[in-house]
Amino acid sequence: MLVPSDAEFVDAFGVSPEAGDEPWIKAVRVEDVLLSFDAVAASVRVRWFDGEEPVVDLYRERASRMLVWSGRGESHVLVEFTDGELAVRIHPSVRINSRHH
């Protein structure tokens, strides 16, 4: 899975991903959204929180590419899979769309 560089995460969100207990799995929290990914296993997990309580918890495998960007007052993550995509708008409000082919 192709993933953005740490610099691209900083440009888009102001923070870079950090390694967890397993160094090949990285995570980044942007406002109420926690994005974790394993580039080797091509998996992505998106969790949306209301305070400390998770509201949405999505996990998908077979990711091919992840993109991050911000502009016009919005910030986004797009993950492309062999069978669809997962689009997350983080700011100004969270919107999650999962599409399958």
Which residue reads 């080797």 in tokens? 40
In the chain, where are the structural domains located?
6-100
The alpha helices in the chain, defined as continuous H runs, are 6-13
Whole-number Å distance between alpha carbons of 50 and 61: 25
Model pLDDT for residues 54-101, shown as the tens digit of each residue: 999 999 999 999 999 999 999 999 999 999 999 999 999 999 999 988
Structure tokens at 94: 């969270």
43: which 2 tokens? 């998996």
**Two tokens at 72?**
């016009």
Q: What's the whole-model pTM score?
A: 0.92
44 touches 65 (CB < 8 A)? no
Q: Are 84 and 101 in contact (CB under 8 A)?
A: yes
pLDDT digits (tens, 9 = 90+) for 4-62: 999 999 999 999 999 988 889 999 999 999 999 999 999 999 999 999 999 999 999 99
